[in-house]
Amino acid sequence: MNPPPKPVGPVRNRFRFLLPVAGLLVAGVFVLLLLHSVDPVSVGKALAQAHPSLLALGLLPLALGYGVRIARWRLLLLPANPQLRFTDCAVPLLGGFALNNVLPARAGDVVRVIAFQGRLGTGNAATAGSVVVERILDLLVLVGCLMAGLALVPEDGLPHGMRLIGGWVGGGILAGGAMVLLGAGWIRPWLERYSGGGQRLPQRVAGIAARVLLGMDLVRDPRRLAAVAALSLLVWAGEYGLYVCVERSLATGAGPAGALLAMAAGNLATLIPGTPGHVGTFHYFAAASLTAAGSTKEAALACALLAHLGFWGTTSLAGFAALGCAGWKRTTAPSAPTTTPPPPP
């Protein structure tokens, strides 16, 4: 007689409960590290001295960068649906980013893949593959920006050996990311053979990975991959414009090099599991980068707070507004006219 199966529901529920608690703990650690090293009153004074006109100006390149994001995603998805329009991609992308801002584990990306197929018409595999390509390209651009920032910032402001370590680690990430993008077509058949329709966890994971890599075949065309890579540079050039304007509005002394390093380090820090919106993790590494570039700690934290508010608030407002308008249009769309059949003679 076989023993009764062990209940897994309570274990899963505890695991789901532990994830947000762990995120809060991580965020709390970095917030405490920040508060321990700065004077909150001085941070408030630095915030009060920011020039509103420069802060408003920084939103313009940020908005242009997100327009380029939409164009990049459309270009990735065109092989799966040649009729796809820019407006078809705008609502899922902006809505996904807004949901990422308030939900854990980048759940907005999952929503973008699954919930908008009626609008996109590209299939889950192609959509998931396009999001993976987006994330890999963003990672590669940010690593390149980090390496450039480390090279441009005065060495005496950096920890000993940071340039050398950053160069080697960054070069390895760039090489690995390029291999994944270019080698997806060779990796996928191996994963498909390994999965073989099996139900064991490793086989199921391999099957999911194979379907995602099938979606990544959208960039097999070298010209398309080059165009998408160029658009990725423009995406982050737009966000860099926000950081430059915020840094200038506070006159931190970190300069364009410090803004570049803060953008790269702050965004790469969002890979650390934490709270939605990446409170603490983003601010700690962005502020540390600005401090290394010559800013005071209080001005650096003020700059990190304003930069975070700029992209978090803007993408949240734009994304939820897009989701709301799309829902309103669906609910208020005119229904097809109905005709009453004539009475029988």
pLDDT digits (tens, 9 = 90+) for 151-183: 999 988 888 888 888 888 889 998 888 887 777
Residue 35 scores a pLDDT above 50: yes
Distance in angstroms (rounded) separating the CA atoms of residues 194 and 226: 32
pLDDT of residue 209: 75
The answer to whether residue 11 sits within a structural domain is: no
3-class secondary-structure state, position 1: coil
Q: Assign 297 a pLDDT band (cuts: 50, 70, 90).
A: very high
Which amino acid makes up residue 97? F
Closest CA to 89 of 126, 55, 58: 126
CA distances from 48 to 174, 216, 269, 289, 306 (A): 40, 47, 27, 22, 11
Task: Judge residue 116's burial from the number of C-beta atoms within 10 Å of its C-beta, 0-12 exposed, 13-18 middle, 19 or more buried.
Answer: buried
Better pLDDT: 203 or 274: 274
Torsional sign, CA 308, 55, 323, 217: negative
- In which domain, by residue range, is 316 found? 27-327
Distance in angstroms (rounded) separating the CA atoms of residues 131 and 238: 20
The answer to whether residue 59 sits within a structural domain is: yes
Q: What is the mean pLDDT of the chain?
A: 86
> How many structural domains is the chain composed of?
1
Residue 292 scores a pLDDT above 90: yes
The answer to whether residue 337 sits within a structural domain is: no
The answer to whether residue 12 sits within a structural domain is: no
Per residue in 50-66, pLDDT (tens digit) is 999 999 999 999 999 99
Stretch 285-311: mean pLDDT, rounded?
Answer: 97
The answer to whether residue 1 sits within a structural domain is: no
The answer to whether residue 7 sits within a structural domain is: no
The answer to whether residue 113 sits within a structural domain is: yes
Q: Which two tokens stand for residue 168?
A: 């080697």
pTM for the structure as a whole = 0.86
| Percent above pLDDT 90 for the chain | 60
The answer to whether residue 17 sits within a structural domain is: no
- Taking residue 69's Cβ as centre, other Cβ atoms within 10 Å add up to 24
